[in-house]
Amino acid sequence: MEVEREREREMEVMQVLHMNGGMGETSYANNSLLQRKVISMTKPITEAAVRALFSAVDTTFWGSLAIADLGCSSGPNSLFAMSEIITIMIDLCKATNHELPEFQVFLNDLPGNDFNTIFGSLLPRFKEKLSEQMKSKYGASATLPCFFNGVPGSFYGRLFARESLHLIHSSYSLMWLSQVPRGLEGNKGNIYMARSSPLKVLRAYYEQFQRDFSTFLECRGQEVVVGGRMVLTLLGRRSDDLSSEECCYIWELLAIALYEMVSKVTQKKKKKQKNQKRT
């Protein structure tokens, strides 16, 4: 019974949580420069993982290379990491005179993610750019067989067949929990861990992350081939303090802003009710 309730709570989050879609002013696509910078900063790590994969897996039997980006979101960043990985692999194959594999690319995020923008607007331009890159390195007749698939669903569960993936990439996604932790009733005035949060609340967040990350690793362990690689980028902190400003201060500011918004709305409603009583 308890397991069913937990699953229901996860499903609730899956159905409502997503970044702002489209390409407008308030969209994630136009407000994710920091996330793009992080992907660029971790490129040497990604390149090392691809090189290790190339050495570890018997490339002689590669008919295709399966890559997954977990928590791809929407906008240009959705394809940025995949572009880096494919480019590295193209260069490796050319340097070793190895035949290029077919690329099977899986883009995963929650069901509410704006996959339409990715596949309708961004992917065609991305493929054109890849095609130009191939022709510049292999000649005018060169083609790159690259197949893209959307995979809606939570990565805190199985998403792919057993031993079907060679490389998994995930950037700034795994700090999002599968559900709201239990026992946050005493976290008054906060929307996340904060300096004023009781120890019980800090422990609840810690334990939820432990469960989620363990589940993630267990699922990926079944889906990745022997010798496969994962590149996971998470927001971290230097301090042992769970409510350190390094990762929590922005949420405290947001909590203050939300509290002020609610207070203003409440005051307006009270004022309106008083005026109605007078009339």
Please write the tens of the pLDDT for every residue from 146-169.
999 999 999 999 999 999 999 999
Domain boundaries, the chain: 2-235, 248-279
pLDDT per residue over 175-188, tens digit each? Answer: 889 998 988 888 88
Query: In whole angstroms, what is the distance from residue 88 CA to residue 91 CA?
Result: 5
pLDDT per residue over 220-278, tens digit each? Answer: 999 999 999 999 999 887 877 776 766 767 777 777 888 888 888 777 777 777 776 66
Strand pairing category for 146-152 and 165-171: unpaired
The alpha carbon torsion through 17, 23, 26, 32 (nearest 10 deg) reads 70
User: Over 60: is that where the pLDDT of 61 sits?
Assistant: no
DSSP code string of 1-37: -HHHHHHHHHHHHHHH-----SSSTTSGGGS-HHHHH
CA-to-CA dists, residue 85 to 7, 28, 51, 109, 129, angstroms: 34, 22, 10, 19, 14
Query: In whole angstroms, what is the distance from residue 40 CA to residue 48 CA?
Result: 14
Query: In whole angstroms, what is the distance from residue 10 CA to residue 212 CA?
Result: 11
The pTM assigned to this predicted structure is 0.83
DSSP code for 187? -
Burial of 190 per CB tally in 10 Å (0-12, 13-18, 19+): buried
What CATH code would you report for 2-235?
3.40.50.150
List the structure tokens of 228: 């496969």
**What's the pLDDT score for residue 75?**
84
The mean pLDDT of 88-113, rounded to a whole number, is 91
**What's the pLDDT score for residue 42?**
93
246, 239 Cβ separation under 8 angstroms: yes
